[in-house]
Structure 1
């Protein structure tokens, strides 16, 4: 009975906490690899951990979680002149005075 109560308490303790991150410890890293990771970290102004994660993701062909944007940047420069569309928009701007009499 005591173990069952312990388990339930553990679930309650973790209920609103952030998901625990996964951590690795790498051993026997070759000196050339260490040097290259440190160069990359320094060049990009990032931590050694971030440089190692980036290299690992690229090496495995895995992309980090993509940021989803909801702006209209994709439409910039996409306008194509269309006289028929321009005419249709112009026609919609006309007020039919008979409907408003």
Structure 2
């Protein structure tokens, strides 16, 4: 899994203080603390999922039961328009 680097600007001082305090409390680097906090807010855990897709966020079957019926007409080809 490749890693991506970010540069984040305009961090409020109070946010910086909280991150630095948490970093000291946990004994982790500042960077690791930020990564853990981002993962925690995104996934609800400090350890991000290993999956590559987004199904882990929404589940595989979260669409409304009537969804396919509701969009059926969108898949219909109008023969008069395509002559």
TM-score normalised per structure 1: 0.42
Gap runs ≥5 in structure 1: 1-18, 67-101
> Is 1:22 matched up with 2:4?
yes
Kept in 1, the 8 Å contact 2:19–2:33? The answer is yes
* Runs of 4+ residues over 3 Å off in structure 1: none
Q: Please state which structure has a larger fraction of its residues in helix.
A: 1
Give the equivalent residue in structure 2 for 1:69: none
Where in structure 2 are there 5+ consecutive unaligned residues?
50-83
- Matching residue within 26, 30, 39 for 1:57: 39
Across the two proteins, how many residue pairs are aligned to each other? 48
Taking only aligned residues, the RMSD between alpha carbons, in angstroms, comes to 1.8
What TM-score do the two structures reach when normalised by structure 2? 0.50
**Structure number, greater radius of gyration:** 1
CA distance in 1, matches of 2:21, 2:39: 18
Quick one: higher RCO (CA 8 Å, sep 6+), 1 or 2? 2
In 1, Cα distance between equivalents of 2:9 and 2:26: 24
